[in-house]
């Protein structure tokens, strides 16, 4: 089985953002730069999905996602915030880990499988703790890619 989503090291970063809007904008910018996508299309897709309801997953994690044109397979980005930010999460807790997911427009169940894999990852207590305690982008990247590879096997 193939890995459910692609994650490049450049798509993992730590930042000091202070509101939901700046997080969504930074995510769109990072996706556009790393995966050679149209920033406006990415931003519109993320904002459209967020307008349906917060992607604040709970447990200090948000999973902003969208389906957009220009992709052959799902791609991910991981942002760790230096301080927690209100994201209108389901559990009303602020967010400090943001995992973005973009999938091809007509990806059907593939998008849902990728979201489910990310959801399982962050619900796992050990993984959640490791993401929270990770000190740099290399550690964050390794955590997500190793978990993704393990889940795909």
Helix or strand run (H / E) with residue 30: helix 20-35
Q: Under the phi-then-psi rule, with left for phi > 0, alpha for psi from -120 to 50, and beta for the rest, what region is 63?
A: beta
Mean pLDDT over the full length of the chain: 91
The DSSP code for 138 is H
* Between 110 and 1, residue with greater pLDDT: 110
pLDDT in tens, 66-118: 999 989 999 999 999 999 999 999 899 999 999 999 999 998 899 999 999 99
What pLDDT, on a 0 to 100 scale, did the predictor assign at position 147? Answer: 67
Give the Cα separation of 140 and 142 in Å (integer).
Answer: 5
Helix or strand run (H / E) with residue 3: none
In the annotation, is 128 catalytic? no
| Choice among 65, 111, 113, 128 that is catalytic | 65
pLDDT in tens, 16-37: 999 999 999 999 999 999 999 9
Nearest to 110 by CA among 76, 61, 138, 145: 76
Tell which CATH architecture fits domain 9-143.
3-Layer(aba) Sandwich (3.40)
Give the Cα separation of 27 and 99 in Å (integer).
Answer: 9
Give the Cα separation of 114 and 3 in Å (integer).
Answer: 9
């Amino acid at each position: 089985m193939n890995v459910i989503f692609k994650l490049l090291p450049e798509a993992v970063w730590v930042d000091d953002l202070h509101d939901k809007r700046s997080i969504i904008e930074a995510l769109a910018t990072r996706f556009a730069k790393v995966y050679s996508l149209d920033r406006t299309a990415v931003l519109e897709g993320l904002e459209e999905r967020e307008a349906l309801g917060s992607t604040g997953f709970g447990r200090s994690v948000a999973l902003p996602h969208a389906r957009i044109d220009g992709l052959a397979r799902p791609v991910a980005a991981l942002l760790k915030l230096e301080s927690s930010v209100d994201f209108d999460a389901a559990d009303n807790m602020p967010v400090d880990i943001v995992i973005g997911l973009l999938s091809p427009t007509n990806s059907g169940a593939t998008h849902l499988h990728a979201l489910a894999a990310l959801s399982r990852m962050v619900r796992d207590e050990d993984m959640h703790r490791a993401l929270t305690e990770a000190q740099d982008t290399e550690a964050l990247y390794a955590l997500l890619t190793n978990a993704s590879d393990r889940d795909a096997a």
